[in-house]
Amino acid sequence: MRSSALRDRLFGPAARERLEAIADVVSDDVLTEFDSHAARAVLRQTTALITGWGCPHLGAEVLDVAQELRLIAHAAGSVKGHVAEAAWDRGITVTTAAQANAIPVAEYTLAAILLSGKDAFEERAQFRLGRSLYRRAGSDATNGNYGTTVGIIGASRVGRLVLERLKAFDFRVLLADPTLGPDDAAALGADLVSLEELLAQSHVVSLHAPILPGTVGMIGAAELALMQDGATFINTARGVLVDHDALRTELRSRRLRAVLDVTDPEPLPDDDVLYELDNVVLTPHIAGSMGNELARMGDLAVAEVERLAAGRAPAYAIDRQTLAVMA
């Protein structure tokens, strides 16, 4: 991974003790490259390699050195940037902590849904301007979180966690996902509808679709035009799923509101209007794991090594099909 500092945030004393209890730790030093004699000496002895953000590329030439390697346990989300397909060709198990990373994203999304239902972001902006003179306008039937319709686009890893958390509230939940049937959606606590129906009926829309050729730009001018006046659009997935010019047009008109943790490009240029609009909550890709949440991903990676040592199947293995749809 990129540094010892990252290692220490991912793996506290308890996690290190768990590793030492079931494995010979070849080196306490973090490998930031695979080219040196010292790094290759470590690779030759390694059965399980734990990786993190900033890991050098694990291509065929590196895997040729790591002949004993059986597991690559990634203590982060996507492995697309650093694990070559040669790993699968050689029967190496590759796992990800994406499930652990999805938890704070779902928590962020839930918070955004609840606060959007209360018009909290809009009220904050108006209260800040008017201060002691500000008086709330009378609310209408769309304000609040009792019986509000929430639309979830995509029953992805994060989408499913959001759906699970929404069950604790009095929402009407809609789900658009072409891979599921009505019974599947019902089991997740939602009514399955088309994307068009979801956009037209929801007061809050949250995007959780994967990046595929068919999903890039899936939310454009036509889709945004279907949304109700005053509705909130939330994106914690990927910026490229949304036509940002179309989004800017709607947000400039103040017809819609948005909570955006991801954008296209990322970050936006300094002069982008999305920084200025008070009906936009723009955050710098913070929904995923940060601070003390990193340890959850480290714990998941350690658990995969424990499963290997016990002769058990991994819990979060990635196959080629999953790799193809990863960001």
Among all residues, which ones are annotated catalytic?
Answer: 238, 266, 285
Residues 158/166, Cβ–Cβ less than 8 Å: no
Amino acid at the residue 252:
R
Amino acid at the residue 1:
M
H/E segment holding residue 88: helix 86-89
d(CA 59, CA 77) in angstroms, rounded, equals 19
> Which positions ≥6 away from 48 have C-beta within 8 Å?
23, 69, 70, 71, 72, 73, 305, 308
The encoded tokens of residue 183 equal 């019974």
> Which positions ≥6 away from 241 have C-beta within 8 Å?
207, 209, 211, 215, 216, 217, 218, 219, 235
The encoded tokens of residue 61 equal 């030439």
Which of 108, 65, 102, 106 is CA-nearest to residue 86?
65
DSSP string, 210-276: ---TTTTT-B-HHHHHTSPTT-EEEE-S-GGGB-HHHHHHHHHTTS-EEEES--SSSSPPTT-GGGT
User: How deeply is 37 buried, as exposed, middle or buried, from its count of CB atoms within 10 A (0-12, 13-18, 19+)?
Assistant: exposed
